[in-house]
Amino acid sequence: MARKITGLKQLGHEVPVPKSPAEAELERVPNPHADTAYVARFTAPEFTCLCPVTGQPDFAHFVIDYAPGKWLLESKSLKLYLASFRNTAAFHEDATITIGKRVADLVEPAWLRIGGYWFPRGGIPIDVFWQHGAPPDGVWIPEQGVAPYRGRG
């Protein structure tokens, strides 16, 4: 059952990667199951941005879980938003929290959590977690499934 959704500027269109997160436009679509409590997950295993001190690339695996309300996050806009960090300088904590807050502000979920699993910088992996709201009762919320960094051990 195909539904026509109007007003989207990116899905179904050729769109370049935005030059920065500030220029990126996240988009949302109506949730056809807004009366149902459930969790949706986005996984971005190849996120990259730049260290604000050295300018060297940093890499992370992001997992975003959310319990939608009236809105769903449109996935192509998320992909382009995340890619817009590629040439942006940001500490691990800043990038993770900025992404979580921007998504939460847009889709107004009942609950959202983001896990940023960062690869080691200077020999130390940094994992960053943020949550918005409380998980709804009665929904299954799986573990994020990203193992802690073990190196070669």
Q: Is 50 left (phi over 0), alpha (psi -120 to 50) or beta?
A: beta
Q: Which of 35, 58, 105, 137 is catalytic?
A: 58
Nearest to 51 by CA among 79, 109, 78, 90: 90
Annotated active-site residue 58? The verdict is: yes
Helix 75-83, helix 92-107: angle, nearest 10: 150
The CA distance from 25 to 105, in Å, is 13
Q: Both tokens of residue 145?
A: 């499934």
Q: Residue holding tokens 């890499």?
A: 59
Residue 149, Cβ density class (10 Å: 0-12 exposed, 13-18 middle, ≥19 buried): middle
From the list 49, 51, 105, 127, the catalytic residue is: 51
Residues with a catalytic annotation lie at: 51, 58
